[in-house]
């Protein structure tokens, strides 16, 4: 007779591990399944980990977790072919406790986080793929793995199996994602001397900087490029909606090469050695794409539930919080020995009441808006660069003349009206 | 019912390890620790014999605390019990001291349950000596059968084992008395895909850990660095082969080219 657990969590990423950690801590008998050789072996993200949501789970984790650098500066570049308008905030308060966020390398961090869950009493089994949920009488009662004698049972199964979530799809919780609901990100980890990193990014030792790059980084396709500082490596990448790549017939690695060789970016990474190449899908459908997240005996968390705020490049924090909320719900369900959908659906309510639901609702139309109207990335960012160049080039023309020129550059009255309308619309989807 | 003990070791994965060019030693931090691949075949064979004849498979290792991971890997493969000897006193052991310490642990295991067969991998991929297996056999005073590539029969009642030993130009069929010790080749079996219950058992499993004090009749002078007469006078990375010529074309063309090159070397035919 196969063994039965209180709970099986499929996937040891931030969402699954957070859930397993909280459950184990509460004395729930939990099995954490991971397909990779170790947690983090298959996981990819640009690299920003948010302090608050991680601390909700492990207070003062930053004292022992394998982190790269606390981020003290966030830059946003509106980039054209050979220019960029940059907006930045640097605050040294972010460089000391309690910090704001950190760069991390997932292969190290996820492994550490999963070890913490094991210390709490979770049972971690790696190199094992959950191939389907076992459904009996309309209830999920366990999972079938790819191993011999691979069936395993539980009162409740948590699907933290990532963006494609084949298991949730098999249950009919979601359809195949449309190309405009997922972004494809490719990134490289570049080895560079610690001191050179600190010099180039104007950092004190063990401070970090993130740069988000809009506009020419994606050749006008909706998406962003990014460049983050780790201890002695840089993470550079570019993520664009799949639909954009299809429309522009671009290959993702071509885009990455383009960014790496861009005159605005190249000086940052000069002399570095690529040590790793990674690529992954990111769920960016937002609020409208959130699937069914609770069923009889089953919950869906993290990327599998499309919980990513593409506008603010937040995902790992939502993953952790969703895992924690799922655990809270399961602990409640266990106390009442009721794992029905109506009981577990309290997870959805918790999710929607939290910052996750609020933020995703706030930006529910943002990605789709920029996807539908490519002029923001294709026209307005270059326009902004031309205006800045015009204004700050001292060539003897009076400032009034310059303003007139910039005004003329905005086009005909009709084009100006369209621009104003687009800005209003952008404000509406972002506010 | 057989009691088979497989002796295993956790080693750095030498496929990806980097050598320190200055000291010519392995940079152990540069490679993940894995179960020595030959030892995985030893455990697999032990488990297969258990399935065929019934019995128990124990694994034994000497190493620092993280080596528990290698024992867990063996539990995944189907071993029943794991023993580990771990103590500063064992540190710095060469093959002589290692086989001594392992023998003492085997004697302790045998007191709890008599051992019919010890199986070791042919060698470890970090040391490449292949001496520990025969060293254990000598100390236990049992026959060592090295280079085993097939186990034909184990007969506990009549007290014999028949195996195929790999030779350079074939193999020999050998019959030995039991108990005995095998060191096995990689081609003895294919590692099977572990069933889920084994994975779960391994995740939970905690091996029995003994220190030097837990072993009986131990001569401390024979342990660790003190018991290791081996002197490593020099270590160097093998020089990369230079020169050479790459033949191109179809197989037929390449053979013809090779033939004419070889025939041109007159000194080969004197």
DSSP code string of chain B: -EEEEEEE-EEE-TTTPEE-TTT--EEGGGS-EEE-HHHHHHHHHHHHHHHHH-EEEEEEEE--GGGHHHHHHHHHHT-SEEEEE--GGGTT--HHHHHHHHHHHHHHHHHHS--SEEEEES--TTT----HHHHHHHHHT--EEEEEEEEEEEETTTTEEEEEEEETTEEEEEEEESSEEEEE-GGG--PPPPPHHHHHHHHH---EEE-GGGSSS--GGGSTGGG---------PPPPP-------S-HHHHHHHHHHHHHH-GGGG-
- The yes-or-no verdict on residue B15 having pLDDT over 90 is no
Shared-domain flag, residues A275 and A321: no
CATH code, domain with A116:
3.50.50.60
CATH code, domain with A250:
3.30.9.10
Q: Which tokens sit at B263?
A: 């025939």
CA distance A317 to chain B (A): 28
Q: Which tokens sit at B196?
A: 């889920």
Shared-domain flag, residues A395 and A301: no
pLDDT of the residue at A83: 95
- Are residues B204 and A123, on separate chains, in Cβ contact within 8 Å? yes
Number of domains chain A is built from: 3
Q: Which residues pair with B119 in a beta bridge?
A: B6, B182
Alpha carbon of B177 to those of A111, A185, A376, B1, B152: distances in Å?
A: 48, 63, 83, 16, 14
B31 vs A277: CA distance, rounded Å: 19
pLDDT of the residue at A59: 96
pLDDT of the residue at A266: 97
Q: Which tokens sit at B174?
A: 């050998």
If one counts every other C-beta atom within 10 angstroms of the C-beta of residue A336, the result is 9
B174 vs A337: CA distance, rounded Å: 62
Shared-domain flag, residues A136 and A195: no
B18: confidence class by pLDDT, cuts 50, 70, 90: confident
- Are residues B195 and A128, on separate chains, in Cβ contact within 8 Å? no
Q: Which tokens sit at B207?
A: 């091996």
Interface test with A, best of B31, B196, B198, B201 (most A CBs within 10 A): B196
**Interface contact B195, partner A, CB < 8 A:** yes
Shared-domain flag, residues A115 and A60: yes
- Are residues A150 and B203, on separate chains, in Cβ contact within 8 Å? no
Does any domain span residue B259? no
A365 vs A180: CA distance, rounded Å: 12
Q: Terminus-to-terminus CA distance in chain A, angstroms? A: 55
Cβ(A26)–Cβ(A15) under 8 Å? Answer: no
Q: Please enumerate in sequence order all residues whose Cβ is within 8 A of that of A148, keeping only pairs 6 or more positions apart, or say none.
A: B193, B194, B195, B196
Residue B139 CB burial class (10 angstroms; 0-12, 13-18, ≥19): middle
What would the pLDDT profile of B88-104 be if each residue is shown by its tens digit?
A: 999 989 999 999 999 99
Q: Which residues pair with B7 in a beta bridge?
A: B60, B120
CA distance B199 to chain A (A): 6
- The yes-or-no verdict on residue B231 having pLDDT over 90 is no
B43 vs B59: CA distance, rounded Å: 8
**Interface contact A128, partner B, CB < 8 A:** yes
Query: Which residue from A14, A3, A44, A32 is spatially nearest to A119, judged by alpha carbons?
Result: A32
Shared-domain flag, residues A245 and A260: yes
pLDDT of the residue at B186: 95
B46: domain range?
2-227
Domain's final residue, options A353, A384, A400? A353
Query: Which residue from A43, A73, A101, A381 is spatially nearest to A227, judged by alpha carbons?
Result: A73
For A418, list phi and psi in degrees, rounded to 5.
-65, -40
CATH code, domain with B203:
3.40.50.620
Shared-domain flag, residues A339 and A193: no
Does any domain span residue A98? no
CA distance B206 to chain A (A): 13
CA atoms within a 13 Å half-sphere pointing along the CA-CB vector of A199: 8
Cβ(A126)–Cβ(A16) under 8 Å? Answer: no
Which of B199, B203, B204 has the CB atom closest to A147's CB atom?
Answer: B199
Does any domain span residue B128? yes
**Is the N-terminal amide bond of B179 cis, ω within 30° of 0?**
yes
A263 vs A224: CA distance, rounded Å: 17
Q: Considering just the CA atoms, what is the radius of gyration of chain A in Å?
A: 23
Q: Which residues pair with A248 in a beta bridge?
A: none
Does any domain span residue A320? yes
pLDDT of the residue at B217: 92
B158 vs B171: CA distance, rounded Å: 24
**Interface contact B16, partner A, CB < 8 A:** no
Question: Parallel, antiparallel, or unpaired for β A208-215 and A69-79?
Answer: parallel
Shared-domain flag, residues A162 and A308: yes
Query: Which residue from B144, B142, B162 is spatially nearest to B154, judged by alpha carbons?
Result: B162
Shared-domain flag, residues A147 and A209: no
Q: Which tokens sit at A56?
A: 């909700």
Query: Which residue from A335, A308, A312 is spatially nearest to A320, judged by alpha carbons?
Result: A308
Which of B194, B195, B203 has the CB atom closest to A124's CB atom?
Answer: B203
- Are residues A149 and B195, on separate chains, in Cβ contact within 8 Å? yes
A275: domain range?
182-283
Q: Please tell me whether residue A131 adopts helix, strand or coil conformation.
A: strand
Query: Which residue from B6, B73, B8, B84 is spatially nearest to B45, judged by alpha carbons?
Result: B6
CA distance B92 to chain A (A): 30
Which of B195, B203, B204 has the CB atom closest to A148's CB atom?
Answer: B195
**Interface contact B54, partner A, CB < 8 A:** no
Q: Considering just the CA atoms, what is the radius of gyration of chain B in Å?
A: 22
If one counts every other C-beta atom within 10 angstroms of the C-beta of residue A189, the result is 21
DSSP state of A178: P
**Interface contact B191, partner A, CB < 8 A:** no
Does any domain span residue A33? yes
B243 vs B240: CA distance, rounded Å: 10
pLDDT of the residue at B242: 81
CA atoms within a 13 Å half-sphere pointing along the CA-CB vector of A329: 32
If one counts every other C-beta atom within 10 angstroms of the C-beta of residue B43, the result is 30
Residue-wise over B54-85: b if at least 16 C-beta within 10 A, else e?
ebbbbbbbbbeeebbebbbbbbbbbbbbbbbb
- Are residues A123 and B197, on separate chains, in Cβ contact within 8 Å? no
Task: Return the residue matching tokens 């060592």.
Answer: B144
Number of domains chain B is built from: 1
- pTM assigned to the model: 0.89
Does any domain span residue B257? no
**Interface contact B246, partner A, CB < 8 A:** no
Does any domain span residue A86? no
Please list the pLDDT of chain A residue by residue as tens digits (431 residues): 678 999 999 999 999 999 999 999 999 999 999 999 999 988 888 889 999 999 999 999 999 999 999 999 999 999 999 999 999 999 999 999 999 999 999 999 999 999 999 999 999 999 999 999 999 999 999 999 999 999 999 999 999 999 999 999 999 999 999 999 999 999 999 999 999 999 999 999 999 999 999 999 888 788 899 999 999 999 999 999 999 999 999 888 899 999 999 999 999 999 999 999 999 999 999 999 999 999 999 999 999 999 999 888 899 999 999 999 999 999 999 999 999 999 999 999 999 999 999 999 999 988 888 888 888 888 899 999 999 999 999 999 999 999 999 999 888 888 888 889 998 888 888 88
Does any domain span residue A97? no
Shared-domain flag, residues A172 and A321: yes
Shared-domain flag, residues A419 and A404: yes
- The yes-or-no verdict on residue B270 having pLDDT over 80 is no
Q: Please enumerate in sequence order all residues whose Cβ is within 8 A of that of B205, keeping only pairs 6 or more positions apart, or say none.
A: B71, B72, B75, B82
Shared-domain flag, residues A195 and A259: yes
Query: Which residue from B129, B134, B131, B130 is spatially nearest to B118, judged by alpha carbons?
Result: B134
Compute the residue count for chain A.
Answer: 431
- Are residues A128 and B199, on separate chains, in Cβ contact within 8 Å? yes
CA distance B105 to chain A (A): 30
Does any domain span residue A360? no
Shared-domain flag, residues A404 and A265: no
- Are residues B196 and A31, on separate chains, in Cβ contact within 8 Å? no
Residue B105 CB burial class (10 angstroms; 0-12, 13-18, ≥19): buried
pLDDT of the residue at A430: 84
pLDDT of the residue at A358: 95
């Amino acid at each position: 007779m196969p063994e039965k657990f209180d709970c099986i969590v499929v996937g040891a990423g931030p969402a699954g591990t957070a859930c397993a950690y909280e459950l184990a801590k509460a004395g729930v008998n939990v099995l954490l399944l991971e397909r990779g050789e170790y947690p983090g072996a298959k996981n990819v993200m640009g690299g920003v980990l948010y302090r608050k949501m991680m601390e909700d789970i492990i207070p003062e984790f930053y004292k022992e977790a394998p982190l790269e650098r606390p981020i003290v500066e966030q830059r946003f570049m509106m980039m054209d072919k050979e220019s960029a308008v940059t907006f930045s905030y640097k605050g040294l308060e972010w460089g000391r406790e309690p910090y704001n966020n950190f760069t991390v390398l997932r292969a190290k961090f996820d492994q550490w986080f999963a070890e913490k869950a094991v210390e709490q009493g979770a049972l971690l089994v790696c190199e094992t793929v959950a191939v389907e949920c076992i459904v009996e009488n309309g209830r999920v009662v366990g999972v079938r793995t790819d191993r011999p004698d691979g069936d395993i049972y539980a009162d409740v199964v948590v699907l933290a199996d990532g963006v494609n979530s084949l298991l949730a799809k098999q249950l009919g919780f979601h359809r195949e994602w449309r190309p405009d609901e997922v972004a494809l990100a490719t990134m490289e980890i570049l080895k560079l001397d610690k001191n050179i990193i600190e010099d180039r990014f104007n950092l004190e030792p063990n401070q970090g900087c993130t740069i988000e790059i809009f506009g020419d980084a994606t050749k006008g396709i909706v998406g962003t490029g990014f460049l983050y500082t780790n201890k002695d490596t840089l993470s550079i990448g570019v993520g664009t909606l799949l639909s954009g790549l299809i429309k522009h017939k671009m290959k993702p690695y071509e885009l990455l090469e383009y960014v790496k060789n861009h005159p605005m970016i190249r000086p940052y990474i000069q002399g570095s050695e690529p040590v790793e190449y990674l690529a992954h899908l990111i769920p960016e459908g937002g609020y409208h794409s959130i699937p069914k997240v609770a069923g009889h005996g089953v919950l869906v968390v993290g990327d599998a539930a499309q919980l990513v705020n593409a506008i603010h490049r937040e995902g790992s924090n939502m993953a952790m919080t969703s895992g924690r909320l799922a655990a809270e719900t399961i602990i409640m369900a266990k106390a009442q020995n009721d794992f029905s959908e109506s009981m577990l659906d309290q997870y959805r309510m918790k999710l929607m009441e939290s910052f996750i639901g609020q933020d995703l609702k706030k930006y529910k139309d943002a990605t789709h808006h920029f996807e539908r109207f490519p002029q923001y990335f294709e026209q307005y960012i270059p326009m902004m660069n031309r205006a800045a160049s015009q204004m700050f080039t001292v060539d003897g023309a009076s400032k009034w003349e310059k303003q007139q020129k910039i005004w003329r550059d905005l086009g005909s009255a009709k084009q100006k009206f369209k621009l104003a309308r687009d800005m209003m619309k952008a404000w509406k989807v972002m506010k | 019912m057989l009691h088979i003990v497989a002796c295993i070791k956790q080693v750095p994965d030498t496929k990806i390890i980097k050598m320190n060019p200055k000291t010519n030693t392995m940079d152990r931090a540069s490679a993940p620790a894995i179960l020595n691949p030959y030892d995985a075949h030893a455990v697999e064979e032990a488990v297969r014999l258990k399935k065929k004849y019934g019995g128990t498979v124990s694994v034994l290792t000497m190493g620092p605390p993280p080596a528990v991971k290698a024992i867990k890997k063996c539990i995944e493969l189907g071993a029943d019990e794991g023993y580990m000897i771990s103590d500063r006193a064992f540190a710095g052991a060469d093959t002589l001291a290692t086989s001594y310490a392992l023998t003492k642990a085997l004697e302790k295991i045998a007191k709890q349950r008599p051992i019919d067969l010890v199986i070791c991998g042919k060698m470890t991929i970090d040391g490449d000596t292949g001496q520990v297996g025969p060293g254990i056999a000598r100390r236990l005073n049992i026959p060592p059968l090295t280079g085993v590539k097939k186990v034909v029969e184990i007969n506990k009642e009549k007290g014999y084992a028949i195996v195929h030993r790999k030779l350079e130009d074939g193999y020999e069929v050998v019959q030995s008395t039991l108990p005995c010790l095998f060191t096995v080749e990689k081609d003895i079996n294919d590692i099977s895909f572990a069933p889920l219950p084994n994975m779960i058992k391994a995740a939970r499993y905690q091996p029995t850990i003994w220190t030097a004090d837990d072993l009986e009749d131990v001569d401390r002078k024979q342990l660790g660095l003190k018991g290791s007469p081996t002197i490593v006078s020099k270590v160097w990375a093998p020089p990369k082969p230079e020169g050479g010529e790459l033949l191109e074309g179809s197989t037929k063309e390449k053979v013809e080219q090779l033939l004419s090159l070889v025939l041109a070397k007159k000194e080969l035919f004197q």
